[in-house]
Amino acid sequence: MTKYIAPSMLAADFANLQRDIEMVNNSNADWFHIDVMDGVFVPNISFGMPVISAIKKHATKTMDVHLMIVDPDRYIEDFKKVGADILTVHYEACTHLHRTLQAIKAAGMKAGVSLNPHTPIAVLEDVINDIDVVLIMSVNPGFGGQSFIENTYKKVQQLKALIEFAEAETLIEVDGGVTDQNIEKLLEAGVDAFVAGSFVFKSENPTATINNLKSLVSI
C-alpha cells in the first residue's frame, strides 16, 4: 500500500508561503496538511478560508484539511469550496459524528476523524466503515513543535486491529512529533500517512528531509 508524507503547513514560513508551497510541490510529499484552529476547541488560532484558498491556487497535491474547531458542520461546504480534498473533524467536537461524516462525503470530500491523545479507539467502533482516514493525535492539538506521546504506538495498533476486524479500508494518519527517528516504528505499527511540521520546515533542507521521510516508508 502507498504511504503518504503530509508536511504540515502550520510550520511553514507565512511570509514566504508560496515559496514553501512550491517546495512541497517539487518534493516527494503526497499531501498538504492544513490545520484549522479556532481558539475555542484548541487554545490557538491558525488560518482560515482566505489562506487555504490561496494555498489551493498553487498546490498541486492533495489538500488534507484538519479542523480543530467547534461545530465543524457549519463549515463543511465552505471547506469544499476553498479546495479541501480530505476533511477531518475531531470526534470530541461532533455531537452527531455519523451525520457529520455523511455530510462531508455528500459534499464530495473524503471524511476523516481525529482523536485527541486521551480519547480511546473504541469510540469509533460503530462508524469505522464510514471513515476514510483516522487521524491519531500524537501530541495535544493546538501548537506545533511538541514532543511525541509514546502511547501512540499502542493506539495505532489498536486502531489497525479494529480496521481489520471490520474489514474497513480506513487509512491511519498520525500528527505530532513525527521524525526520522520514529517514522519506521510508526510504519511498523500500521500508520499509512505521516504529518510532519517543524521537523520538515525547521530543517536545513526541507526538500531533502521530506524525501528522506518518504524513502523510510517506501517499501
Is residue 130 annotated as a catalytic residue, yes or no? no
Whether pLDDT at 146 is above 80: no
Q: Which residue is catalytic, options 30, 38, 130, 175?
A: 175
Closest C-alpha among 125, 190, 115, 118 to residue 151: 118
pLDDT of 145 > 80? The answer is no
Q: Which residues contact 181 (CB under 8 A, 6 or more apart)?
A: none
Q: Is 78 a catalytic residue?
A: no
pLDDT confidence tier of residue 144, bands split at 50, 70 and 90? low
Average of per-residue pLDDT values in the chain: 96
Distance from chain centroid for Cα 145: 15
pTM exceeding the 0.95 threshold for the entire prediction: yes
212: DSSP letter: H
